[in-house]
Chains A and B, each alone.
Chain A
Amino acid sequence: MTREVSIATSWGVGLTLALGALIVAGSRNLAHFDAALVAYTFSILFATFGLTYRYAMWLQRPPTAVYWRRGWQVFFRSGWRLRNAGTWFRRLVSEFLANRFIFQRNRLRGITHLLIMWGCLIAVAITFPLVFGWLHFQPVAGDLSLYEAVIFGFPVFRFPHESAVAFFLFHGLVWASFLVIAGVMLAMRRRMREEGAAALQRFAEDFMPLILLFAVSLTGLMLTASYTWMKGYGYTFIAILHAITVIGTFLWLPFGKFFHIFQRPAQMGVGFYKDVGRAEAKACCRGCGHAFTSRMHVEDLMEVERKLGYRYEIPGTEAEHYQWICPSCRRASLAIAQGLLWRGRRGGVPLEADARAISMPVRVNRGMGEGPLGVEDAENFYP
């Protein structure tokens, strides 16, 4: 077993045991644990191990490790903490809760993701506490028209069981299903209509999660339909079918597309890294002399590349390392290198090599509608 695997396994086992302990404690020594849901509990415990293991392995990759470390360093950097806390809250709302960046990619994709994400979040917020025995409802002694929500063994609030609040709460998973099914339909529609998506999509990565979410939502709704309108017809069969789909989804969590749910928050760290980098020392291209990114980013990339086994060092030159050359100069150098191989063969005029640095390459299409895609491209390519 390699060191990385040992570390990941330890984290996986540790967090799984911690969750197990929380289940015992939150359900008051399993007093409120619903034995009928034990299969759900064990599938979640397995998913916890799998997710933690994969996350720990992922964090040990050189680029991820550097960003993880740097992300926390810049977040807690002196003079930045208050600003970072404000930025964190703002980005949490705009990027994560409202999916702003996905709406920028495409409005329909934004709506699709928002529906699926909020449907899943609501479902998880209801299901997990119930499965773990952290949440249960009980009638209030002395007033049987009231229900009491008990969280971690503590009574939290009461409500009439014939009220709109009760109807809304007890059908929470139905509302979640509506959101998820609508989102899955939109996602499927896009995948069946777009040629770009058709060329790149794969069954396990792109269709499997949608099918699983649809199956969970549909069988969940069938349960509600069975006990509400069909006097419990086929309830046991549907309950088993629903359990299979839910457990299948939990088991799939660590392996497929769902893992992005846990990777995505890294975007926050990247944001702080860029904010701080932009305000601090710049890296100047050692070809054209222009600043093109933060010095911190270039130095970190050189460290990552060395750890990965790349050798972009250029001994004996003022550049020292290829990472100090801006992307525009790299492209220009490629053309010059190829052109020099043709020296004397095309055009017949041998070129006199000139020791001076070339001036900054300028994109031929500048100002003609195909400029940079974002602020960073403007900085990196047109310093």
Chain B
Amino acid sequence: MARRNTRGSLNPNSESVLLMPVPDNLEFFIDPSRCIGCQACIQACSECDTHKGQSMIQLDWVDRAQSTQTVPVVCMHCESPTCAEVCPADAIKRTGDGVVQTARKPRCIACNNCVLACPFGVPKMNTGMNLMMKCDMCYDRASVGLKPMCASVCPSQALAFGTREEMARLRPSARPANTFQFGAQTIRTKVNIMIPRDSPTDIVDVTSSMYEPALGCELLDGLFAESLYEG
């Protein structure tokens, strides 16, 4: 049975056939502002059996010259996945538990639509293999109740996997949100991002922050920034 997406239409990319779904009570929580850029997630990610040897984590400096801020991005598993809907080959499927699976190998024609359309910049394109690859929440682990590899090694728990109760207990000043604004488009996701508990809004407005400076940029002086540019 197809699942209704957030825009009210039947989503042809949903599937109800599941071998073993990710348990309902376990959720993924990301908090980029806790990231220390240690790269443990990158190394752990490539150990996952569903994409072994290839790391699906996207870890960036936000503004290398001005700030130490880093951002780890995993697939947010949108309720209405843009990547799947713009896929001309119908290669990306969202299973009934809300996980947007990586591209089906026989179908993916490597058009790069998903890479360019994903609002979070998640999918990667393996050009030689003619195959899009992306985070699938370590489906071999998450579907049996284990933490995805990245969440199991993240020392600052910027990437965390557990129950809502655990998160409420461990982070009393934060609460999860899963609604994002990109221009006029609202996207809801299975993966949560942590926002202040007393935040007046439930929506993380990504596009309104596009031209804001990285966190902590005023802590580095201009001289240091210049030397980085010259180096």
Q: A: which residues have CB within 8 A of B?
A: 58, 61, 63-64, 66-67, 95, 101, 104-105, 194-196, 198-202, 204, 257, 260, 263-264, 266-267, 270, 273-274, 287, 293, 297-298, 301, 304-305, 308-315, 317, 319, 321-323, 325-342, 345-347, 349, 351-359, 361-365, 368, 370, 372-377, 380-381
Contacts and interface: CB of A to CB of B under 8 A. Distances in A.
B206 interface: yes
Contact of B182 (A61, A322, A374): A322
B138 to A, nearest CB: 9
Contacts, number: 294
Contact of B185 (A311, A340, A353): A311
Given A200-B140, A365-B39, 18 more contacts: A63-B88, A67-B111, A105-B131, A201-B19, A263-B89, A305-B82, A311-B184, A314-B183, A321-B183, A333-B210, A353-B212, A353-B213, A357-B211, A358-B211, A361-B71, A370-B46, A373-B54, A376-B127
Contact of B69 (A63, A326, A339): A339
Contacts of B126: 373-374
A374 B128 contact: yes
A317 B207 contact: yes
Given A101-B130, A301-B117, A358 B7 contact: no
Nearest to B123: A327
A104 B129 contact: yes
Interface string B48-87: 1111101100111111111001110100000000100111
Main secondary structure of the interface of A (DSSP, over half): helix
A355 B61 contact: no
B109 interface: yes
Interface residues of B, number: 97
A333 B209 contact: yes
A319 B64 contact: no
A105 B106 CA distance: 11
B98 interface: no
A354 B213 CA distance: 6
A313, A327, A329: most-surrounded residue (chain B CB, <10 A) = A327
Nearest to B128: A104
